[in-house]
Amino acid sequence: MVMEKAWSFGLVLLWFSTLSCYLVNAADDKNGGFGASFIFGDSLVDAGNNNYLPTLSRANIPPNGIDFKASGGNPTGRYTNGRTIGDIVGEELGVPNYAVPYLAPNSTGKALLYGVNYASGGGGIMNATGRIFVNRLGLDIQIDFFNNTRKQFDKLLGSSKAKDYISKRSIFSVTIGANDFLNNYLLPVLSIGARISETPDDFVDDMINHLSDQLTRLYKLDARKFVIGNVGPIGCIPYQKTINQLNENECVDLANKLAMQYNGRLKELLTELNGKLKGAIFVHANVYDLVMELITNYAKYGFTTASEACCGNGGQYAGIIPCGPTSSMCQDRDKHVFWDPYHPSEAANLIIARQLLDGSTKYISPVNLKQLRNL
């Protein structure tokens, strides 16, 4: 009887070991040795998590997704007409499937091996950010969810293989911070009290301290390869230009100054973490300068406007009411830098993503994403 139990237990171990090897090897065959893409952030990279939340911030309505080939042009919850930067980067790095939204029913089992998307429209570094939308996933909650995924990887691959897969072969991207200004500190009426009690310096300090703790949490969960995007020129988006009644070549000074102040501190933080967290590499993605280049020299990149939203309503730049079924929509979607009042078009996302993948240290440092994958 003892021999039979030992034999059965041995078979179970052999089966589990064989299965974990099969899963890793299957993933290897499809993505050339690259592991998973874990995506954290806000609506710039949300792939549909907000579809599963009772929230005022949703993009699962047409014409969003009209150029997203994988869905046949149907909306998926992405806040653009096609692919997000995260989608494009994953494709170019060799991931065969888009990172599945964490809250989607199919975010289980083998699908996790290609990556998980935790990003949420309206989410921010600070927990109070985005409360105007009622529900959203802030970065703290997104990391809580990754903690659940981390445990699932142990069950899928075994603890040793799971740790290697996550720490040596997977990339963690974080695209967040804009909502902390647009839908928190700068929000009309709701933020007046906060702005009286907290100076811009203090607010940025809070953001950086909170982000430092959040990135350290991911490190403790075996994340090692990070790419962190700074905040783009939020004073130049169609929404800001419209409500402030600006000319085409003008931007809102305060919003951009806050973004640049945060970005300076972010770069310092990543340098500090690179020195402090052994074995980790934090790559800085200079989204601000990259998007500002597109806005300033849009014609050079084949665009006809960097001010007007392709899909939206209200004001000079269609920048007040978000994209939806009743919105006006341009026909030349690949000629607009902005898809809606807040978010880039797929055409703009493609240019941004390619710079992050192959670009110089002007936009991505100390290495680009293809170099990061191969480390």
Q: Which of 210, 284, 336, 343 is catalytic?
A: 343
Which DSSP string corresponds to 243-312? HTT--TT---HHHHHHHHHHHHHHHHHHHHHHHHSTT-EEEEE-HHHHHHHHHHTGGGGT-SBSSS-SEE
Active site (annotated) includes residue 343? yes
Token pair of 55 as six digits: 């929230």
The letter for the amino acid at 156 is L
The letter for the amino acid at 165 is Y
Q: b/e map of 198-222 (b: 16 or more CB within 10 Å)?
A: eeeeebbeebbebbbebbebbbebb
Q: Cα–Cα distance between 208 and 310 in angstroms, integer? A: 34
Active site (annotated) includes residue 120? no
Which DSSP string corresponds to 9-73? HHHHHHHHHHHHHHHHHHHHHHHTT---EEEEESTTT--SGGGGS--S----STTTTTT-GGGTT
Closest CA to 83 of 296, 307, 346, 278: 346
The answer to whether 318 touches 237, Cβ cutoff 8 Å, is: no
Q: Which of 43, 57, 327, 345 is catalytic?
A: 43
Q: Which of 120, 307, 340, 345 is catalytic?
A: 340
The answer to whether 367 touches 225, Cβ cutoff 8 Å, is: no
The letter for the amino acid at 365 is S
Establish whether the linkage from the previous residue to 366 is cis, with ω within 30° of 0: yes
Active site (annotated) includes residue 336? no
Q: Cα–Cα distance between 174 and 231 in angstroms, integer? A: 11
Catalytic residue positions, numbered: 43, 340, 343
